A and B are shown apart, each in its own frame.
Chain A
Amino acid sequence: AQSVTQLDSQVPVFEEAPVELRCNYSSSVSVYLFWYVQYPNQGLQLLLKYLSGSTLVKGINGFEAEFNKSQTSFHLRKPSVHISDTAEYFCAVSLTGNQFYFGTGTSLTVIP
């Protein structure tokens, strides 16, 4: 069985401060990992993905994530957040069966 755990349901952070959104997964096989962002009343948009290769992945809007196989984690980071980063963030895993499994989401609120 596979699952995705996002440890924080809500994360408030001041503007220009760094942020880390945590994601852990469980799987008995190799996975591919993704972070998506959802702005209010919109669909999900891909931030970044890890398929293979370098464990540090850079995405759009200044976000990055690091794949840690030993800790089965894929935490999302940004060194300095902006008001426009306020959104819901979802971590997802994909298996060879072509199915994506999502975490329950983390609501990031950037405080001016």
Chain B
Amino acid sequence: IAGITQAPTSQILAAGRRMTLRCTQDMRHNAMYWYRQDLGLGLRLIHYSNTAGTTGKGEVPDGYSVSRANTDDFPLTLASAVPSQTSVYFCASSAMMNTEAFFGQGTRLTVV
């Protein structure tokens, strides 16, 4: 089934540890995004990529890094996790600028 796959679905992580959230899409979309969803704050953009080889910072990029080596994959890395990074993380993609975004099922991350 075409779409976006995120892994893992949930994770408990010790503070200070490094963690990479994986995101793969098979729709050949140019643009990809990472959001975090927190109660009362909605979804906030962490990083985005308009096309393979390019990335940009969103609203809340601190503590996160991304790479876009190819069209399909857009991993999000927490270099040294902190409890404030406890959240639900969603990866999304869109075919072109300003078209609708398609979302993965999310990764629930708890940093303790």
Residues of A within 8 A of B (CB): 6, 9, 32, 34, 36, 41-46, 49, 51, 90, 94-96, 98-105
Q: Please, which residues of chain A bring their CB within 8 A of the CB of B43? A: 44, 90, 102
Q: Please, which residues of chain B bring their CB within 8 A of the CB of A34? A: 100
Those of B59-100 within 8 Å (CB) of chain A: 59, 90, 92, 94, 97-98, 100
Decide: B41 and A99 in contact? CB cutoff 8 A.
Answer: no
Q: Please, which residues of chain B bring their CB within 8 A of the CB of A99? A: 33, 45, 48, 58
Q: Please, which residues of chain B bring their CB within 8 A of the CB of A51? A: 98
Task: Check A49/B105 contact, CB under 8 A, given A43-B90, A98-B48, A100-B33.
Answer: no
CA separation between A98 and B33, bound complex, in Å? 10
Q: Please, which residues of chain B bring their CB within 8 A of the CB of A96? A: 97-98
CA separation between A6 and B41, bound complex, in Å? 11
Q: How many residues of B contact A (CB 8 A)?
A: 26
7 chain-A/chain-B pairs, Cβ below 8 angstroms: A41-B106, A44-B43, A45-B103, A46-B100, A96-B97, A102-B42, A103-B42
List the A residue with the shortest CB-CB distance to B50: A98
CA separation between A98 and B104, bound complex, in Å? 18
State which of B44, B58, B100, B104 has its C-beta within 8 Å of the C-beta of A49.
Answer: B100
Chain B 41-57 near chain A by CB (<8 Å), digits 1 or 0: 11111001010000000
